[in-house]
Chains A and B, each alone.
Chain A
């Protein structure tokens, strides 16, 4: 077959250019550590979806941290409330022992009053983000407000569900109203009213306006309430503890999903370095051979023998 000198000289140049382009791809793969195939539409789309899933997990992580912070603050508050009731119980036992004079009863009354103020502070505690723990959806205002000496609840029972895993939402607190509501002997009693009643009874018996008999009844009542209150807060705490445990298990589920997503992405994206380097070597050898043969062939000309 006849071949023109120009084709004869240009064809190897075209071939070498192609070899160089292939080499360039391999070189880029090695430099970036990313497979060339990662930029193919289907793979790129899959990688995009995987990256988005990873980003979504990060948002779930932030949500979980937020819920965790809030639940831990709630748990501490409930524990503190339990301590207050424990102390009220001790004081009720002490006050009921019958050997105390008026001054001692007044002293106990003062402590009860300060415990009640402390409990009000606990009930109006805020989470690390500034929202009231027991206000329900009225998170911007103190839920327990003192009005003419009585504590009134101004929040609502709305609970906030927050997603911490796809399809898995956890309530980030307790029903605020239930904080102060204690079930004792079949009726719902307000903890603040009960404590106020105990303090008033102490003060009244000390200044003689309450009979010892009525005082004893009040002590018995306080003991009942404080016992029920201790149980109430233990129960609330257990509920929060359960949620925190769920949160922890979601954490490990998230970690598993995360690892799985990263492994899948890596399989699509990451280059097998050993394979790429041996491929580069083979391509280099090919190019060198092409260059060598070209310099030999290009020199051939019949005119050299004229």
Chain B
């Protein structure tokens, strides 16, 4: 009978605890990051009694935290991919929009240069037509500068955003390290880690997964080691290591990877192309303009500023050499960047992106420069072996591209030797504008701009599709995760009813044991 009483009382205690757990679930049904818990009931150890084993009631064996670690990992991967694609879609969209469409923006500005040249062929001596042409040339140059300025603004903004995000990432990493410590202490004291702290840590890890590619490894003590980006250790045990924005590159995944990839290769490549376009425009029109004469018989001066390549000496050069690179033949430019290096007393040129060696001709002097892929490279001073220079042929051309002729009488519309009413050179300018560059088969300047725009738009479209697909995948895996870890109120309601019933029954057991005891007492009196 004492067995019966204690069984009943154990039951009451166990069901009380189970009801507490269920109530927790009910009230936290809408709490972010809450993982539902379940009281697992088990029989108490059996005791031998009258030659048989008799169970000694029920107990809560453990309070389980319902989590599927594989789904959690998948959901973080999905978050990394979805954030990456969504950010890329948005930012590439801005890069494309900066170019403008149709009659607005750069394509329209170039088209209007062509129209103005066409008008010049019809009325080469008319002042208003010449003024209009110069205005359109200036508009085109201004628009090229404006696009480049917008792009550089994006680049700056992305850099700042990366710094901010990395700051948050470091703060989260410190919080995780701190939680690691508390969880281990709690687990040592209570035998099981605090579910609330685990929920908090999981939420922080979920957020980090959006920033960059994340790898989470749990150790024997229940601490998580966190690696972000390309395996950079963020948290090891109780220690968080601060990372910098520069630690994240295009392949880091998440928002940081997306921002890094928007800066390079996407934006730097687009700037190279815009610069190459400006260089081609300048070369074609400048060369042709010089072949004509203006109303006073003077030869045409350059219509646009003459493009010069950007050369950056590598830090640590020991020689005194300086390098000047000019664009020798804009049609032969490949829109690649180069590294020029002094190896065994000779200059070696290679592409910056993949290291492909590029053969050169010439000696490198000012009168006989090194020539390769449309570039002429002149070296002065003495270089030491190992000295290097990076050459960006067109990267910084668009940002200070200007129209240089302002006096309408200096428009050289006439062919050499003829009067101001001749349109011979105006027609040549138009042909030069429309001419097809031999290096990229069948493209005029406007086609080229069109292709740049098309390529950027396609990249954005692919990112948009990625964004949609990864968003759906993320929602799907999150739903699966929630189906394991989330609370179902109907289920909890049913469980409450069930536990209430069990509690009442256990109470009946206690009452009955009391009655049996009384019966025995009454009988002995």
Q: Which residue of A lies closest to B118 (CB)?
A: A59
Q: Is the CB of A5 within 8 A of B489?
A: yes
Q: Is the CB of B101 within 8 A of A44?
A: yes
Residues of A144-201 whose CB lies within 8 A of B: 155-156, 158, 160-163, 172
Q: Which residue of B lies closest to A11 (CB)?
A: B479
Answer whether residue B457 sits at the interface, using C-beta atoms and an 8 A cutoff. yes
A7-B419 in contact given A67-B122, A301-B493 (Cβ < 8 Å): no
Answer whether residue B524 sits at the interface, using C-beta atoms and an 8 A cutoff. no
Residues of A59-96 whose CB lies within 8 A of B: 59-60, 62-63, 66-67
- Within 8 Å CB of A162, what residues of B? 121-122, 423
Q: Is the CB of B488 within 8 A of A137?
A: no
- Within 8 Å CB of A129, what residues of B? 123, 126
- Within 8 Å CB of B122, what residues of A? 62-63, 66-67, 162, 172
Q: Is the CB of A137 within 8 A of B418?
A: yes
- Within 8 Å CB of B124, what residues of A? 160
Chain A 123-148 interface 0/1 with B at a Cβ cutoff of 8 Å (1 = within): 00000011110011111100000000
- Within 8 Å CB of A51, what residues of B? 102-103
Q: Which residue of A lies closest to B462 (CB)?
A: A41
State in angstroms the CA–CA spacing of A3 and B446 once bound together. 56
Answer whether residue A292 sits at the interface, using C-beta atoms and an 8 A cutoff. no
Residues of B490-506 whose CB lies within 8 A of A: 490-491, 493-494
| B243 smallest CB distance to A (angstroms) | 34
Q: Is the CB of A131 within 8 A of B414?
A: no
- Within 8 Å CB of B458, what residues of A? 41-42
The interface-forming segment of B107-115, B267-275, B378-386 is B107-115
Residue of B122, B453, B458, B483 with highest tally of chain A CB at under 10 A: B122
Chain B 447-461 interface 0/1 with A at a Cβ cutoff of 8 Å (1 = within): 000100110011011
Q: Is the CB of B121 within 8 A of A4?
A: no
| A164 smallest CB distance to B (angstroms) | 9
Q: Is the CB of B419 within 8 A of A160?
A: no
A41-B454 in contact given A6-B30, A7-B479 (Cβ < 8 Å): yes
A4-B488 in contact given A45-B454, A131-B123, A131-B126 (Cβ < 8 Å): yes
Residue of A11, A52, A55 with highest tally of chain B CB at under 10 A: A52
A130-B490 in contact given A5-B29, A52-B446, A162-B423 (Cβ < 8 Å): no
| B67 smallest CB distance to A (angstroms) | 13
Chain A 35-64 interface 0/1 with B at a Cβ cutoff of 8 Å (1 = within): 000001110110111011001101110110
A139-B419 in contact given A11-B479, A44-B101 (Cβ < 8 Å): yes
State in angstroms the CA–CA spacing of A306 and B102 once bound together. 66
| A64 smallest CB distance to B (angstroms) | 9
A135-B419 in contact given A48-B450, A55-B115, A162-B122 (Cβ < 8 Å): yes
Answer whether residue A302 sits at the interface, using C-beta atoms and an 8 A cutoff. yes
Q: Is the CB of A45 within 8 A of B457?
A: yes
| B133 smallest CB distance to A (angstroms) | 12
Q: Is the CB of A60 within 8 A of B118?
A: yes
Answer whether residue A266 sits at the interface, using C-beta atoms and an 8 A cutoff. no
Q: How large is the interface on B (under 10, 10 to 19, 20 to 34, 35 or more residues)?
A: 35 or more
| B413 smallest CB distance to A (angstroms) | 10
Q: Which residue of A lies closest to B121 (CB)?
A: A162
In the complex, which of the residues B103, B422, B430, B484 contacts A160, with contact meaning CB atoms closer than 8 Å? B422
Q: Which residue of B lies closest to A301 (CB)?
A: B489
State in angstroms the CA–CA spacing of A140 and B36 once bound together. 92
State in angstroms the CA–CA spacing of A62 and B119 once bound together. 8
Q: Is the CB of B491 within 8 A of A2?
A: yes
| A39 smallest CB distance to B (angstroms) | 9
Q: Is the CB of A55 within 8 A of B123?
A: no
Q: Is the CB of B454 within 8 A of A63?
A: no
Answer whether residue A1 sits at the interface, using C-beta atoms and an 8 A cutoff. yes
Q: Is the CB of B115 within 8 A of A303?
A: no
Q: Which residue of A lies closest to B123 (CB)?
A: A129
Q: Is the CB of B121 within 8 A of A138?
A: no
- Within 8 Å CB of B115, what residues of A? 55-56, 58-59
Answer whether residue A14 sits at the interface, using C-beta atoms and an 8 A cutoff. yes
- Within 8 Å CB of B475, what residues of A? 14
| B137 smallest CB distance to A (angstroms) | 16
Answer whether residue B125 sits at the interface, using C-beta atoms and an 8 A cutoff. yes
Q: Which residue of A lies closest to B456 (CB)?
A: A41
- Within 8 Å CB of B125, what residues of A? 131, 139-140
Residues of B75-127 whose CB lies within 8 A of A: 101-103, 107, 111, 114-115, 118-119, 121-126
- Within 8 Å CB of B422, what residues of A? 136-137, 158, 160
| B477 smallest CB distance to A (angstroms) | 12
- Within 8 Å CB of A5, what residues of B? 29, 486-490
State in angstroms the CA–CA spacing of A306 and B496 once bound together. 10
Answer whether residue B263 sits at the interface, using C-beta atoms and an 8 A cutoff. no
Q: Is the CB of B419 within 8 A of A2?
A: no
Answer whether residue B257 sits at the interface, using C-beta atoms and an 8 A cutoff. no
Q: Is the CB of A137 within 8 A of B121?
A: no
8 contacts between A and B (CB under 8 A): A4-B487, A7-B482, A7-B483, A59-B118, A60-B118, A131-B126, A136-B421, A138-B419
Given A56-B118, A158-B422, A302-B489, 17 further pairs, Cβ under 8 A? A6-B29, A7-B479, A8-B488, A41-B461, A44-B101, A55-B103, A59-B118, A135-B419, A136-B418, A137-B419, A137-B421, A137-B422, A138-B419, A158-B418, A162-B121, A162-B122, A162-B423
Contact surface of A with B, Cβ cutoff 8 Å: 1-8, 11, 14, 40-42, 44-45, 47-49, 51-52, 55-56, 58-60, 62-63, 66-67, 129-132, 135-140, 155-156, 158, 160-163, 172, 301-303, 306
Nearest 4 interchain pairs by C-beta: A4-B486, A139-B421, A41-B457, A137-B422
